[in-house]
Amino acid sequence: MGRGAAQSETGPGARGLRYADAGVSIEAGDRFASMIQAMVRRTHGPRVIRNDLGFAGLFRLDYNEKLFKRNYREPVLVACADGVGTKIKLAQALDRWDTIGIDLVAMNVNDLIVQGAEPLFFLDYIATARVEPERLAEIIKGVTEGCARSGAALLGGETAEMPGVYPPGEIDLAGFAVGVVELPRAIDPARVEPGDVVLGLAASGIHSNGYTLVRAIVERAGLDLDEPRAELDGRRLGEALLEPTRLYVQPVVRVQRAYRVKKVISGMAHITGGGLAGNLARALHVGVDAQIDPGAWPVPPIFRLLQEAGGVEEAEMRRVFNMGIGYCLIVRPAFADSITRRLRRFGETVHRIGRITPGSGRVVGV
Protein backbone atom coordinates (compact mmCIF):
# COMPACT_ATOMS: atom_id res chain seq x y z
CA MET A 1 0.00 0.00 0.00
CA GLY A 2 1.65 3.21 -1.14
CA ARG A 3 1.23 6.70 0.29
CA GLY A 4 -0.98 7.99 -2.53
CA ALA A 5 -4.75 7.84 -2.73
CA ALA A 6 -6.14 4.34 -3.38
CA GLN A 7 -9.32 3.35 -5.18
CA SER A 8 -11.89 0.88 -3.86
CA GLU A 9 -11.70 -2.56 -5.40
CA THR A 10 -15.37 -3.39 -4.80
CA GLY A 11 -18.14 -2.90 -7.29
CA PRO A 12 -21.93 -2.94 -7.37
CA GLY A 13 -24.00 -6.03 -6.78
CA ALA A 14 -24.09 -8.62 -4.05
CA ARG A 15 -21.44 -8.29 -1.41
CA GLY A 16 -18.59 -10.72 -1.92
CA LEU A 17 -15.28 -11.15 -0.20
CA ARG A 18 -13.56 -7.80 0.18
CA TYR A 19 -9.97 -6.74 0.68
CA ALA A 20 -10.87 -5.54 4.18
CA ASP A 21 -12.21 -9.01 5.00
CA ALA A 22 -8.76 -10.37 4.18
CA GLY A 23 -7.18 -7.88 6.56
CA VAL A 24 -6.20 -4.90 4.39
CA SER A 25 -8.02 -1.57 4.73
CA ILE A 26 -7.58 0.75 1.77
CA GLU A 27 -9.57 3.41 3.63
CA ALA A 28 -7.18 3.30 6.62
CA GLY A 29 -4.23 3.65 4.27
CA ASP A 30 -5.78 6.65 2.56
CA ARG A 31 -6.55 8.28 5.90
CA PHE A 32 -2.98 7.75 7.04
CA ALA A 33 -1.63 9.27 3.82
CA SER A 34 -3.79 12.36 4.24
CA MET A 35 -2.76 12.73 7.91
CA ILE A 36 0.97 12.97 7.17
CA GLN A 37 1.00 15.29 4.14
CA ALA A 38 1.67 18.46 6.13
CA MET A 39 4.42 16.77 8.15
CA VAL A 40 6.14 15.53 5.00
CA ARG A 41 6.03 18.93 3.29
CA ARG A 42 7.79 20.41 6.32
CA THR A 43 10.97 18.72 5.10
CA HIS A 44 10.75 19.99 1.51
CA GLY A 45 13.07 22.71 0.24
CA PRO A 46 13.37 24.33 -3.18
CA ARG A 47 15.03 21.26 -4.68
CA VAL A 48 11.88 19.17 -4.23
CA ILE A 49 9.51 19.31 -7.21
CA ARG A 50 5.96 18.88 -6.01
CA ASN A 51 4.37 15.69 -7.33
CA ASP A 52 1.55 14.86 -4.92
CA LEU A 53 -0.15 12.12 -6.95
CA GLY A 54 2.98 10.77 -8.58
CA PHE A 55 4.42 7.31 -8.13
CA ALA A 56 7.88 8.61 -7.13
CA GLY A 57 9.45 11.72 -5.66
CA LEU A 58 11.29 14.31 -7.73
CA PHE A 59 14.44 16.06 -6.52
CA ARG A 60 16.40 18.66 -8.49
CA LEU A 61 20.16 18.14 -8.48
CA ASP A 62 21.26 20.61 -11.17
CA TYR A 63 22.23 24.18 -10.41
CA ASN A 64 19.89 27.16 -10.52
CA GLU A 65 21.52 30.29 -9.16
CA LYS A 66 18.20 31.86 -8.18
CA LEU A 67 17.34 28.94 -5.92
CA PHE A 68 20.55 27.42 -4.63
CA LYS A 69 23.67 28.69 -2.91
CA ARG A 70 26.15 26.33 -4.52
CA ASN A 71 26.77 24.02 -7.43
CA TYR A 72 28.29 20.56 -7.47
CA ARG A 73 31.26 20.44 -9.82
CA GLU A 74 32.12 16.74 -9.36
CA PRO A 75 29.08 15.35 -7.54
CA VAL A 76 29.07 11.78 -6.30
CA LEU A 77 25.80 10.38 -4.98
CA VAL A 78 26.04 8.50 -1.69
CA ALA A 79 23.26 6.13 -0.61
CA CYS A 80 22.59 3.85 2.32
CA ALA A 81 19.82 1.81 3.93
CA ASP A 82 19.23 0.81 7.55
CA GLY A 83 16.55 0.09 10.10
CA VAL A 84 16.11 0.45 13.85
CA GLY A 85 16.52 -3.22 14.73
CA THR A 86 14.63 -4.64 17.66
CA LYS A 87 14.42 -1.26 19.37
CA ILE A 88 11.00 -1.15 17.76
CA LYS A 89 9.92 -3.97 20.10
CA LEU A 90 10.62 -1.64 23.01
CA ALA A 91 8.53 1.10 21.39
CA GLN A 92 5.76 -1.47 21.02
CA ALA A 93 6.04 -2.59 24.65
CA LEU A 94 5.77 1.01 25.85
CA ASP A 95 3.29 2.01 23.12
CA ARG A 96 5.38 5.08 22.38
CA TRP A 97 6.02 5.77 18.72
CA ASP A 98 7.09 9.41 18.42
CA THR A 99 10.86 8.87 18.71
CA ILE A 100 11.55 5.71 16.72
CA GLY A 101 11.29 7.65 13.45
CA ILE A 102 14.16 9.88 14.57
CA ASP A 103 16.21 6.72 15.12
CA LEU A 104 15.36 5.56 11.61
CA VAL A 105 16.64 8.76 10.02
CA ALA A 106 19.69 8.99 12.27
CA MET A 107 20.89 5.46 11.60
CA ASN A 108 20.99 6.29 7.90
CA VAL A 109 22.21 9.87 7.72
CA ASN A 110 24.89 9.32 10.37
CA ASP A 111 26.29 6.59 8.10
CA LEU A 112 26.02 8.81 5.05
CA ILE A 113 28.04 11.72 6.46
CA VAL A 114 30.93 9.39 7.26
CA GLN A 115 31.75 9.56 3.54
CA GLY A 116 31.92 13.36 3.70
CA ALA A 117 28.47 13.69 2.16
CA GLU A 118 25.51 15.83 3.08
CA PRO A 119 21.99 14.37 2.94
CA LEU A 120 19.65 15.26 0.08
CA PHE A 121 16.56 13.14 0.64
CA PHE A 122 15.16 10.24 2.61
CA LEU A 123 12.65 7.45 1.97
CA ASP A 124 10.92 5.26 4.52
CA TYR A 125 9.28 1.84 4.46
CA ILE A 126 6.76 0.76 7.08
CA ALA A 127 5.48 -2.81 7.18
CA THR A 128 2.67 -3.83 9.50
CA ALA A 129 -0.11 -6.34 9.97
CA ARG A 130 -2.76 -3.62 9.99
CA VAL A 131 -2.62 0.09 9.23
CA GLU A 132 -3.46 2.07 12.34
CA PRO A 133 -3.28 5.66 11.06
CA GLU A 134 -2.76 7.40 14.41
CA ARG A 135 0.10 5.10 15.43
CA LEU A 136 1.84 5.29 12.05
CA ALA A 137 1.41 9.07 12.00
CA GLU A 138 3.40 9.22 15.24
CA ILE A 139 6.21 7.30 13.54
CA ILE A 140 6.20 9.67 10.57
CA LYS A 141 6.22 12.61 12.99
CA GLY A 142 9.59 11.32 14.21
CA VAL A 143 10.81 10.69 10.66
CA THR A 144 9.99 14.25 9.60
CA GLU A 145 11.65 15.61 12.74
CA GLY A 146 14.81 13.67 11.94
CA CYS A 147 14.75 14.83 8.33
CA ALA A 148 14.20 18.45 9.30
CA ARG A 149 17.14 18.35 11.69
CA SER A 150 19.32 16.74 9.03
CA GLY A 151 18.41 18.97 6.11
CA ALA A 152 17.00 16.00 4.19
CA ALA A 153 13.72 16.04 2.29
CA LEU A 154 11.31 13.22 3.06
CA LEU A 155 10.72 12.49 -0.59
CA GLY A 156 8.48 9.45 -0.36
CA GLY A 157 7.71 6.21 1.37
CA GLU A 158 5.78 2.98 1.34
CA THR A 159 3.33 1.56 3.84
CA ALA A 160 2.84 -2.18 3.41
CA GLU A 161 -0.15 -3.75 5.15
CA MET A 162 0.62 -7.47 5.26
CA PRO A 163 -1.57 -9.57 7.54
CA GLY A 164 -0.31 -13.11 7.64
CA VAL A 165 3.28 -11.96 7.23
CA TYR A 166 3.35 -9.84 10.39
CA PRO A 167 1.48 -10.82 13.57
CA PRO A 168 -1.16 -8.38 14.86
CA GLY A 169 0.41 -5.28 16.40
CA GLU A 170 3.81 -5.81 14.77
CA ILE A 171 5.57 -3.00 12.86
CA ASP A 172 8.89 -2.98 11.03
CA LEU A 173 10.79 0.01 9.69
CA ALA A 174 13.46 0.60 7.08
CA GLY A 175 14.97 3.81 5.79
CA PHE A 176 16.93 4.86 2.74
CA ALA A 177 19.05 8.02 2.48
CA VAL A 178 20.69 9.64 -0.52
CA GLY A 179 23.31 12.37 -0.27
CA VAL A 180 26.02 14.05 -2.32
CA VAL A 181 29.70 14.75 -1.90
CA GLU A 182 32.17 16.58 -4.09
CA LEU A 183 34.58 13.88 -5.26
CA PRO A 184 37.76 15.66 -4.06
CA ARG A 185 36.15 16.09 -0.62
CA ALA A 186 35.10 12.45 -0.18
CA ILE A 187 36.61 10.81 2.89
CA ASP A 188 39.37 8.33 2.04
CA PRO A 189 40.99 6.13 4.74
CA ALA A 190 44.28 6.43 2.85
CA ARG A 191 44.56 10.01 4.15
CA VAL A 192 44.80 8.93 7.81
CA GLU A 193 48.33 9.57 9.12
CA PRO A 194 50.30 8.86 12.30
CA GLY A 195 49.90 11.82 14.63
CA ASP A 196 46.26 12.44 13.72
CA VAL A 197 43.91 12.95 16.67
CA VAL A 198 40.73 10.94 17.30
CA LEU A 199 37.81 13.02 18.56
CA GLY A 200 34.74 11.30 19.99
CA LEU A 201 31.28 12.87 19.98
CA ALA A 202 29.08 11.87 22.88
CA ALA A 203 26.15 9.56 22.27
CA SER A 204 22.65 10.41 23.47
CA GLY A 205 22.22 6.90 24.83
CA ILE A 206 22.21 3.38 23.43
CA HIS A 207 21.15 4.67 19.99
CA SER A 208 19.75 1.79 17.89
CA ASN A 209 22.10 -1.15 18.25
CA GLY A 210 22.24 -4.00 20.73
CA TYR A 211 18.56 -3.99 21.64
CA THR A 212 18.21 -7.75 21.41
CA LEU A 213 20.69 -7.93 24.29
CA VAL A 214 18.96 -5.02 26.05
CA ARG A 215 15.60 -6.77 25.88
CA ALA A 216 17.12 -10.04 27.12
CA ILE A 217 18.63 -8.23 30.11
CA VAL A 218 15.34 -6.49 30.92
CA GLU A 219 13.44 -9.79 30.71
CA ARG A 220 15.86 -11.98 32.65
CA ALA A 221 16.55 -9.41 35.37
CA GLY A 222 12.86 -8.55 35.68
CA LEU A 223 13.51 -4.82 35.21
CA ASP A 224 10.48 -2.53 35.33
CA LEU A 225 10.44 -0.21 32.32
CA ASP A 226 8.14 2.24 34.12
CA GLU A 227 10.31 2.52 37.25
CA PRO A 228 12.13 5.82 37.83
CA ARG A 229 15.81 5.08 38.44
CA ALA A 230 18.06 7.15 40.70
CA GLU A 231 21.10 6.32 38.55
CA LEU A 232 19.26 7.80 35.55
CA ASP A 233 18.50 11.06 37.39
CA GLY A 234 14.98 9.90 38.10
CA ARG A 235 14.09 9.00 34.51
CA ARG A 236 12.05 5.90 33.88
CA LEU A 237 14.09 3.04 32.49
CA GLY A 238 11.89 2.70 29.41
CA GLU A 239 12.25 6.40 28.65
CA ALA A 240 16.04 6.17 28.84
CA LEU A 241 16.08 3.09 26.61
CA LEU A 242 13.93 4.84 23.99
CA GLU A 243 16.11 7.97 23.89
CA PRO A 244 16.54 8.54 20.14
CA THR A 245 19.82 8.23 18.30
CA ARG A 246 21.73 11.50 18.17
CA LEU A 247 21.86 13.20 14.77
CA TYR A 248 25.40 14.33 13.98
CA VAL A 249 24.67 15.70 10.52
CA GLN A 250 24.56 19.46 10.99
CA PRO A 251 27.66 19.79 13.23
CA VAL A 252 29.78 17.51 11.03
CA VAL A 253 28.63 19.07 7.74
CA ARG A 254 29.17 22.58 9.09
CA VAL A 255 32.69 21.74 10.26
CA GLN A 256 33.54 20.40 6.82
CA ARG A 257 32.20 23.55 5.16
CA ALA A 258 34.37 25.66 7.45
CA TYR A 259 37.51 24.09 5.96
CA ARG A 260 36.82 24.17 2.23
CA VAL A 261 40.48 24.22 1.12
CA LYS A 262 42.40 22.21 3.68
CA LYS A 263 41.38 18.59 4.21
CA VAL A 264 41.62 18.66 7.98
CA ILE A 265 39.35 15.65 8.58
CA SER A 266 41.10 12.46 7.46
CA GLY A 267 38.55 9.91 8.62
CA MET A 268 35.20 9.42 10.35
CA ALA A 269 33.17 6.58 11.83
CA HIS A 270 29.59 6.15 13.02
CA ILE A 271 29.74 3.95 16.12
CA THR A 272 27.01 1.34 15.69
CA GLY A 273 26.91 -2.45 16.04
CA GLY A 274 30.42 -3.71 16.71
CA GLY A 275 31.21 -0.87 19.09
CA LEU A 276 34.03 1.64 18.91
CA ALA A 277 36.72 -0.85 17.92
CA GLY A 278 34.72 -2.50 15.15
CA ASN A 279 33.59 0.73 13.52
CA LEU A 280 36.61 2.97 13.95
CA ALA A 281 38.75 0.27 12.31
CA ARG A 282 36.73 0.84 9.11
CA ALA A 283 38.18 4.37 8.94
CA LEU A 284 41.79 3.13 8.98
CA HIS A 285 44.16 1.70 6.39
CA VAL A 286 46.57 -1.15 7.03
CA GLY A 287 49.49 1.13 7.86
CA VAL A 288 48.07 2.75 10.98
CA ASP A 289 46.45 1.94 14.33
CA ALA A 290 44.12 4.01 16.47
CA GLN A 291 45.35 4.09 20.08
CA ILE A 292 42.28 4.75 22.24
CA ASP A 293 42.16 5.77 25.90
CA PRO A 294 38.92 4.25 27.29
CA GLY A 295 39.14 6.56 30.31
CA ALA A 296 38.94 9.69 28.16
CA TRP A 297 35.15 9.90 28.39
CA PRO A 298 32.51 9.01 30.97
CA VAL A 299 30.41 5.92 30.29
CA PRO A 300 26.72 6.91 30.62
CA PRO A 301 24.90 5.29 33.57
CA ILE A 302 22.43 3.40 31.34
CA PHE A 303 25.23 1.11 30.17
CA ARG A 304 26.43 0.29 33.68
CA LEU A 305 22.86 -0.33 34.80
CA LEU A 306 22.38 -2.87 32.02
CA GLN A 307 25.80 -4.43 32.55
CA GLU A 308 25.18 -5.03 36.25
CA ALA A 309 21.62 -6.25 35.75
CA GLY A 310 22.68 -8.72 33.07
CA GLY A 311 26.09 -9.70 34.40
CA VAL A 312 27.59 -8.78 31.02
CA GLU A 313 31.37 -8.81 30.71
CA GLU A 314 33.11 -5.53 29.90
CA ALA A 315 34.50 -6.82 26.61
CA GLU A 316 31.02 -7.85 25.48
CA MET A 317 29.58 -4.45 26.43
CA ARG A 318 32.22 -2.67 24.36
CA ARG A 319 31.71 -5.03 21.44
CA VAL A 320 27.94 -4.54 21.33
CA PHE A 321 27.32 -0.95 22.47
CA ASN A 322 28.73 2.49 21.74
CA MET A 323 29.46 2.99 25.48
CA GLY A 324 28.97 6.75 25.20
CA ILE A 325 30.75 7.63 21.94
CA GLY A 326 28.39 7.79 18.98
CA TYR A 327 30.62 9.29 16.29
CA CYS A 328 34.35 9.75 15.69
CA LEU A 329 36.40 12.17 13.65
CA ILE A 330 40.06 11.65 12.85
CA VAL A 331 41.61 15.07 12.37
CA ARG A 332 44.96 16.67 11.71
CA PRO A 333 46.65 17.50 15.03
CA ALA A 334 47.12 21.19 14.21
CA PHE A 335 43.35 21.57 13.81
CA ALA A 336 42.13 19.33 16.64
CA ASP A 337 41.53 22.22 19.05
CA SER A 338 39.79 24.47 16.53
CA ILE A 339 37.54 21.64 15.32
CA THR A 340 36.71 20.76 18.92
CA ARG A 341 35.71 24.38 19.60
CA ARG A 342 33.51 24.48 16.51
CA LEU A 343 31.78 21.24 17.37
CA ARG A 344 31.12 22.43 20.90
CA ARG A 345 29.64 25.67 19.57
CA PHE A 346 27.31 23.50 17.47
CA GLY A 347 26.12 21.74 20.62
CA GLU A 348 28.29 18.61 20.66
CA THR A 349 30.08 17.14 23.66
CA VAL A 350 33.57 16.36 22.36
CA HIS A 351 36.28 14.18 23.90
CA ARG A 352 39.84 13.71 22.65
CA ILE A 353 39.87 9.93 22.90
CA GLY A 354 42.99 8.82 21.06
CA ARG A 355 45.64 9.23 18.41
CA ILE A 356 46.85 7.52 15.26
CA THR A 357 50.12 5.59 15.31
CA PRO A 358 51.95 3.37 12.81
CA GLY A 359 50.35 -0.06 12.83
CA SER A 360 48.29 -2.58 10.93
CA GLY A 361 44.73 -1.20 10.80
CA ARG A 362 43.68 -2.02 14.37
CA VAL A 363 41.96 -0.12 17.15
CA VAL A 364 43.98 -0.60 20.33
CA GLY A 365 42.92 0.00 23.92
CA VAL A 366 39.25 -0.95 23.84
Which pLDDT tens digit goes with each residue over 118-177? Answer: 999 999 999 999 989 889 999 999 999 999 999 999 999 999 989 989 999 899 999 999
Digit-coded pLDDT (tens) for 291-309:
999 999 999 999 999 999 9
Question: 23-46+66-182 has which fold?
Answer: 60s Ribosomal Protein L30; Chain: A; (3.30.1330)
- Flag whether pLDDT at 5 surpasses 50: no
CATH class of 189-364: alpha beta
| Measured distance CA(205)–CA(271) in Å, rounded | 12
Secondary structure (3-state) at 267: strand
List the Cα angle 192/196/202 in 5-degree steps.
Answer: 100
Digit-coded pLDDT (tens) for 329-351:
999 999 999 999 999 999 999 99
List the Cα angle 148/177/264 in 5-degree steps.
Answer: 85
Mean pLDDT of the chain: 90
Q: What are the residues facing 48 on neighbouring strands?
A: 59
Question: Do the Cβ atoms of 59 and 43 come closer than 8 Å?
Answer: no
- Flag whether pLDDT at 248 surpasses 90: yes
Q: At 173, phi and psi to the nearest 5?
A: -130, 145
| Measured distance CA(324)–CA(182) in Å, rounded | 31
Q: Please, which pLDDT band fits residue 10 given cuts at 50, 70 and 90? A: very low
Digit-coded pLDDT (tens) for 100-109:
999 999 999 9
| Measured distance CA(306)–CA(308) in Å, rounded | 6
Q: Name which of 8-22, 142-156, 346-360 the model is least confident about.
A: 8-22
| Measured distance CA(150)–CA(152) in Å, rounded | 5
- For residues 54-81, average pLDDT: 76
Query: Given this model, what pLDDT does residue 67 score?
Result: 53
Alpha-carbon dihedral 84, 326, 201, 116, rounded to 10 degrees: -70
| Measured distance CA(267)–CA(362) in Å, rounded | 14
Secondary structure (3-state) at 119: strand
Query: Given this model, what pLDDT does residue 1 score?
Result: 44
Q: Where are the domains of the chain?
A: 23-46+66-182, 189-364
